[in-house]
Chains A and B, each alone.
Chain A
């Protein structure tokens, strides 16, 4: 995507802004979906994020900054919504919003169990895990996005993996010999 697209959007070109939305809507919507566990609420959140972007375009310096900004706002907004209404994130699995990637069902049982366990994580650890494994962000970036010390990010990743691994072993979905 050319940097000129951002410049055009900042100059008021709505078509350019629409292209920016299309380029990032998957990530932003997926963050909302996996934090809030409902497609309708995730779409509301994603719309809010892009509305905020439209208002704050003047502050976006580059495409890289745009990516950072969108994920930061989406994750923090989702954390905020989860806290205000924690019951949103606790739909039972059979009514869940199909949060896993469609091609991920190499092991449907494992996918289902992991999805369920991810859904039990508290807001901050869940956001950290999404930014790490969905968005492939490094620890320093995640710390900056969530306004959290680097060590806390590392701690959340480590604890969450340990807890997920423990439960997967308990459910006999992975071998206990697996060593990180």
Chain B
């Protein structure tokens, strides 16, 4: 094979995922072998086409789904791998480190590095920034018996994303007297 071809091939291979894939999209391992060992598996692969389909089935009546619909309208991909195990560290740290390595690429910045020695929990949050816009999000979270890798691609509103279902997300608005919408099943109640 002549040197020019070899050199070109090498350049393509070394350029890694940022060459062949959408900007912001990580090359996630399939972890096929882990599914048998895991007690729980969540694998989500939604490209822009599937996101569009999914968004059509989200309800405008449900506030959480309405928020998700708004968030998703500017995304081009949502990719999640989440595994839970019955024993400690039953997953290959090497594979997770390889994903982490991709986040050394230009444009990605780690904005949070959370470590809990007590619970052996690690959470890293990375953003792909273009000017002041977030065009990619990666979250790598690991504990002894579970790990999660999240990769979201597109124009992301982080506030909207966090607001979706965090543990402490109810806004404090003070005293209100209005009641929730009356159920269609409830007639007037004698007191």
Contacts and interface: CB of A to CB of B under 8 A. Distances in A.
Interface stretch (A13-21, A22-30, A104-112, A155-163): A155-163
Given A81-B180, A91-B175, A47 B189 contact: yes
Contacts of A163: 167-168
B174 A90 contact: yes
B36 interface: no
B40 A151 contact: yes
B135 interface: no
B93 interface: no
A156 B176 CA distance: 28
B175 A92 contact: yes
A95 interface: yes
A89 interface: yes
A84 B167 contact: no
Contacts of A47: 186, 189
A122 B180 contact: no
Given A84-B63, A95-B175, A89 B170 contact: yes
B62 interface: yes
Main secondary structure, interface of B, reads loop
B181 interface: yes
Interface residues of B, number: 29
Contacts of A51: 185-186
A52 interface: yes
Nearest to A119: B170
Interface string B118-134: 01000000000000000
B21 interface: no
Interface in A8-65: 36, 40-41, 44, 47-48, 51-52, 55
Contacts of B84: 151
A81 B182 CA distance: 10
B166 interface: yes
26 contacts: A40-B179, A41-B179, A41-B180, A44-B179, A47-B186, A48-B185, A52-B185, A55-B185, A82-B170, A83-B62, A85-B178, A85-B179, A86-B171, A87-B174, A87-B176, A88-B176, A89-B170, A90-B170, A90-B173, A90-B174, A121-B168, A122-B166, A122-B168, A150-B40, A163-B167, A163-B168
Interface of A: 36, 40-41, 44, 47-48, 51-52, 55, 77, 81-92, 95, 120-125, 149-151, 156, 159-160, 162-163
